[in-house]
Chain A
Amino acid sequence: MLSIKNLHARVEDKTILKGLNLDVKPGEVHAIMGPNGAGKSTLGYVLSGRDGYEVEQGSAELDGHSLFDMETEERARAGLFLAFQYPVEIPGVSNMEFLKASVDAVREARGDSALSSAEFLKLARVVCKQVNLPVEFLKRGVNEGFSGGEKKRNEIMQMILLAPRLCILDETDSGLDIDALKVVADGVNSQRSSDRGFVVVTHYQRLLDYIKPDFVHVLSDGKIVKSGGPELAKELEAQGYSWLADHPDEVPAE
């Protein structure tokens, strides 16, 4: 469903992604690991079309549609969801209002009928409970005054409500204690299905104990330098990332 070919992208004058290839099929969970500065967050931003992230060459298709031909919101409506590492606050705009507008927009694009306010509220309450957020959070401003853990759970809540095709989780584990991590992982696992793909970006192996990946990729200097099964994550945990610098021969030729 997601097919990235030879992706080069830069931020300002600096090229961050230097020929990245990745294929995600429905039902698969891909973990992308790598040292800081490897371009992990950049991947999510480039795919979702953040301003300032420019594609130099290569392609990315979601269900056969070129992502780079679409506006940010069109990609979202096509089923691309990015869970932010640092969710932004929008003062005064209630979570409820925001989620409803978002769900309406995505449903409309899919050709689904709009949910009534009552239907939506009912659904939102259930999901709130699922990610262990008090229902009052629906009334509060988007991420306004939320703790780090609450913000991450709020992201997962949005993911569940939007029911995307492809989810990119950007360092969703950062800043979470073990309990919050479990809640987030449970939320994600509940959404695993045969028609949905996940790209889980993380620095640490810890998250992968809870969200079991089908594939693990190592991203270094803008390229995937090694791919394998879940065992690769364990290996990385044991060895760290320093071996990357010592084994330039591991880097496949372009």
Chain B
Amino acid sequence: MTEQIDKALKREYEAGFVSAIESETFAPGLDEDVIRRISAMKEEPEWMLDWRLKAYHSWREMEEPEWAHVDYEKIDYQAISYYSAPKSMKDKPKSLDEVDPELLRTYEKLGIPLIEQQMLAGVAVDAVFDSVSVVTTFREKLAEAGVIFCPISEAVHKHPELVKKYLGSVVPPKDNFFAALNCAVFTDGSFVYIPKGTRCPMELSTYFRINEQNTGQFERTLIIADEGSHVSYLEGCTAPQRDENQLHAAVVELVALDDAQIKYSTVQNWYPGDEEGRGGIYNFVTKRGIAHHRAKISWTQVETGSAVTWKYPSCILKGDDSVGEFYSVALTRAKQQADTGTKMIHLGKNTRSTIISKGISAGRSNNSYRGLVRMNPGAEGARNFTQCDSLLIGDQCGAHTFPYVESRNASAIVEHEATTSKVSDDQMFLCRQRGLDPEKAVSMIVNGFCKEVFKELPMEFAVEAGKLLEISLEGSVG
């Protein structure tokens, strides 16, 4: 039975093509000069360059973290190119008509139609290709509501007061090795500002695509939800199939001011490497949000890609009665390694957090949940509930749980539970006796296992996530 399941899990990476787009790419290497050049390409103001250089100097003093349950070859940071942009972007297109058709085809292949009339109703898209944002749709409609949705490189120019105030306020440049690197070299990403009391009229989404060889992608996302506002943001990502590893070190900062709500959903499908573990993206990402009084931040992630994932979307529950949520599905197969989870830092009174993590390990992969729940002395009446479930498929993989619980407030309640299970022979037999083939059976059982998380995704994404899992579980069965 295990063999059949294993076969069912083998699949081709569907987003593995390379687009023939002419790019302008920096020679590999990182020094002050490269940072100055990135800053110059973006025509950044002095303060932005200073900020980058400061981060760069901090980074040089820092050590790459080794505590995660992942094993990969040391990254040569001088072998990476820190900037790559499609040539046709030099004069940025004003509208979709001016976008390189090859680029549009790339996004179409990915199932992300940028042509507005074809788009999923009510989703505004920012598309980031290698180092730059290529197009942002629906901007006018959003502007009517006062919502700012633009590339962060543009926000630096157009909304410097917001960027200065909030950039690095949640994830400081010295936060960790990869975040510091990102601060120094980030090239683009999305910027969102939702004004006071505004409910963002549509879902916002960013699709990231690494195309160029030997480049790293260092995008930076900053979302500010002003008092009483609501926004739902979706993020997707893919990369071509290549034999060498590529680095993705992003930073996402969320600021939910009083009574605001941010829902951040990710479907991560970076190239995972082949069956033997060759190639694939190193996904070292820092995502964190700060929730002020009565604000709510909800992270939902479906992680199926990347060779190595190192990612802990977190919430600092600073304001009283603020709420943090983390819903995660992480599927690893072949030789993928994932070390992912969350941190819930309870500072305010009556803060609440929920963590639901579903890890699925197959092949020779390793899948770890790593989480921290901290109740600080001020977290009167705070509550956390954590449920971590692991599903093992086959006897060559690993499923691990490393939850840290730190409580310093007697009135706070923390509950953590973890279980592990397998796709049982009995379940498989029942499904097959009812006429389902083994692939469908596995996919159905795994989907059922993930249901609690999928129901948190926005509708369009839930369908996509279900399909992604199904594709991940698809293959020949004998």
Contacts and interface: CB of A to CB of B under 8 A. Distances in A.
Touch between chains A and B, by CB atoms below 8 Å? yes
B1 A93 contact: no
A92 B430 contact: no
22 contacts: A48-B433, A51-B1, A73-B437, A76-B433, A77-B435, A84-B433, A87-B430, A88-B429, A90-B448, A93-B444, A93-B451, A98-B444, A101-B436, A101-B440, A102-B431, A102-B434, A102-B435, A105-B436, A105-B437, A105-B440, A141-B448, A142-B430
Interface in A48-99: 48-52, 71-73, 75-77, 81-82, 84, 87-88, 90-94, 97-98
A102 B426 contact: no
A249 B121 CA distance: 78
B111 to A, nearest CB: 23
Nearest to B441: A73
B426 A92 contact: no
Max chain B C-beta neighbours (<10 A), residue from A52, A76, A106, A109: A76
A106 B438 CA distance: 14
A172 interface: no
A92 B435 contact: no
Contact of B429 (A50, A109, A158): A50
B213 interface: no
A162 interface: yes
A73 B477 CA distance: 12
Contacts of A94: 448
Question: In which size bucket is the chain A interface?
Answer: 20 to 34
B444 A73 contact: no
Given A98-B444, A101-B440, A92 B452 contact: yes
Interface string A188-208: 000000000000000000000
Contact of A106 (B424, B429, B435): B435
Contacts of A49: 432
Contacts of A93: 444-445, 447-448, 451
A90 B445 contact: yes
Nearest to B389: A91
A76 B434 contact: yes
B432 A73 contact: yes
Interface of A: 48-52, 71-73, 75-77, 81-82, 84, 87-88, 90-94, 97-98, 101-102, 105-106, 109, 141-142, 158, 162
A50 B1 CA distance: 10
A51 B447 contact: no
Nearest to A101: B436
B127 interface: no
Contacts of A141: 448
Interface of B: 1, 424-427, 429-438, 440, 444-445, 447-452
A92 B443 CA distance: 12
Contacts of B449: 91-92
A87 B430 CA distance: 8
A158 B435 CA distance: 12
Contacts of B426: 88
Contacts of A72: 429, 432-433
Max chain A C-beta neighbours (<10 A), residue from B434, B437, B445: B434
A213 B444 CA distance: 37
A182 B436 CA distance: 30
Nearest to B429: A50
A158 B434 contact: yes
B54 to A, nearest CB: 48
B448 A82 contact: no
B436 A92 contact: no
Max chain B C-beta neighbours (<10 A), residue from A73, A82, A91, A102: A73
B455 to A, nearest CB: 10
B448 A162 contact: no
A22 B447 CA distance: 40
A128 B449 CA distance: 25
Contacts of A98: 431, 434, 444
B248 to A, nearest CB: 31
Nearest to A81: B433
The 9 closest A-B pairs by CB, nearest first: A92-B448, A93-B448, A72-B432, A76-B435, A92-B451, A102-B434, A105-B435, A88-B426, A73-B432
B333 to A, nearest CB: 20
A51 B437 contact: no
A162 B436 CA distance: 12
A140 B336 CA distance: 33
A92 B450 contact: yes
B228 to A, nearest CB: 35
A105 B427 CA distance: 17
Nearest to A75: B433
B435 A88 contact: no
Contacts of B447: 92-93
B388 to A, nearest CB: 15
Contacts of B440: 101, 105
Contacts of B431: 73, 90, 98, 102
B1 A162 contact: no
Contacts of B448: 90-94, 141-142
B435 A90 contact: no
A32 B200 CA distance: 66
Nearest to A48: B433
Nearest to B1: A51
A92 B444 CA distance: 9
Given A92-B450, A92-B451, A92-B452, A97 B444 contact: yes
A99 to B, nearest CB: 8
A73 B436 contact: yes
Contacts of B430: 84, 87-88, 90, 142
A162 B425 CA distance: 22
A88 B427 contact: yes
A81 B430 CA distance: 10
A38 B377 CA distance: 66
